[in-house]
Amino acid sequence: MSEMIIQTYGLTRRYGKQTSVNNLNMNVPRGSIYGFLGPNGAGKTTTIRMILGLIRPSSGEVRVFNQPFPSHRISILKRVGSLVESPSYYGHLTGYENLDVLAKLLGASPKRIHEMLNVVRLTSAANKKVKGYSLGMKQRLGIAAALLGQPDLLILDEPTNGLDPSGIHEIRELIKEMPKQHGITVLVSSHLLSEIEQMANQVGIINEGNLIFEDHIEVLRKRSLPKLILEVDRPQEALSIVQRIDRSAVIENGVLELSHLDYAQTAELNRQLVQEGHSVYRIREWTSSLESIFLDLVGKGTSL
């Protein structure tokens, strides 16, 4: 099993009677881009704040780099870069100067500032005042700031919020480089599956404070492979014939559902059914999108 960079155990946060984060057991493997996905109000920011030690859990525990909060708070946070909600800057200072303020605190060199400005493609705007930056430029400066202290873990809460498609694309490409080029593990939250799908390899889905899915993105993708739907007059009797070709076939809402077959197998199945006296009304292919799987999960709100 791979080493975990973040682990939470029964992590819970209540506000009055409301439970915003409920008994979360989260696992972020080293070197992964972990997409933390959930609709508005699901509990993403609250979870991230607890992971960063910005708020206290009502109960449960957080371990980062296999060290517990809060006893190892300082040594953990030294190795973490983060961007939570809209970062604040000194508008009257330039991008470079803003990073310089931080670099002095972190003991980072001017060389490092230039390198990070280059990573987020802000070199040409480095000497421009931040109040003249676009939203996308401010987000990128926030990422540069998060990277300044050479973190092993980068935590980004909805880094593409409010950006246009090209800004979203840029941030996404930037994030994708982190594990390979910089050896950084990334936890990135979003309410958009399409976005997470394009950069994450590990996915956690949170809904109403509960982690309802956590696995490799391929596990989610497999659920969206095409299936074959077969409508016949007597599905129950036809099932045993169908199972000769596909053992995983089931009856769902009165129709037979089987995995995807090639042309020859489909034709063979049809032949056998007809030979044994069944009326085949329809054979059709059905693909559920990842989006619909996500909505289905979130809609049901049940654990998988």
Ligand X SMILES: Nc1ncnc2c1ncn2[C@@H]1O[C@H](COP(=O)(O)OP(=O)(O)OP(=O)(O)O)[C@@H](O)[C@H]1O
Residues engaged in binding ligand X (CB under 6 A):
15, 20, 38, 40-46, 191
38 binds, among ligand X, Mg ion, none (CB under 5 to 8 A by kind): ligand X
Directed axis angle between helix 263-275 and helix 235-245, to 10°? 140
Q: Whose Cβ is closer to ligand X: residue 208's or residue 257's?
A: 208
Residue 84 CB, shortest distance to ligand X, in Å, is 10
| Cβ-closest position to Mg ion | 45
Rg of the Cα atoms in the chain: 24
Sheet with 280-286: list strands edge to edge: 250-252, 255-259, 227-232, 280-286
Q: 155-194 mask for Mg ion (x: CB under 5 A)?
A: ----------------------------------------
Q: Whose Cβ is closer to ligand X: residue 126's or residue 156's?
A: 156
Residue 57 CB, shortest distance to Mg ion, in Å, is 17
Residue 91 CB, shortest distance to Mg ion, in Å, is 24
User: Does residue 168 contact residue 95 with C-beta atoms inside 8 Å?
Assistant: no
Residue 232 CB, shortest distance to ligand X, in Å, is 45
71 binds, among Mg ion, ligand X, none (CB under 5 to 8 A by kind): none
Q: How far apart are CA 161 and CA 4, in angstroms?
A: 27
Residue 267 CB, shortest distance to ligand X, in Å, is 49
Q: How far apart are CA 82 and CA 188, in angstroms?
A: 10
Q: Whose Cβ is closer to Mg ion: residue 88's or residue 124's?
A: 88
Instruction: Give the pairing of strands 227-232 and 280-286.
Output: antiparallel
Q: Whose Cβ is closer to ligand X: residue 46's or residue 82's?
A: 46
Residue 155 CB, shortest distance to ligand X, in Å, is 13
Q: Whose Cβ is closer to ligand X: residue 38's or residue 151's?
A: 38
Q: Whose Cβ is closer to ligand X: residue 65's or residue 213's?
A: 213
Q: For residue 189, list its beta bridge partners.
A: 36, 157
46 binds, among ligand X, Mg ion, none (CB under 5 to 8 A by kind): ligand X
10 binds, among Mg ion, ligand X, none (CB under 5 to 8 A by kind): none
277 binds, among Mg ion, ligand X, none (CB under 5 to 8 A by kind): none
35 binds, among Mg ion, ligand X, none (CB under 5 to 8 A by kind): none
User: Does residue 302 contact residue 278 with C-beta atoms inside 8 Å?
Assistant: no
Q: 29-68 mask for Mg ion (x: CB under 5 A)?
A: ---------------xx-----------------------
Closest CA to 302 of 174, 207, 227, 179: 207
Residue 34 CB, shortest distance to ligand X, in Å, is 15
Q: What is the binding site for Mg ion (CB under 5 A)?
A: 44-45
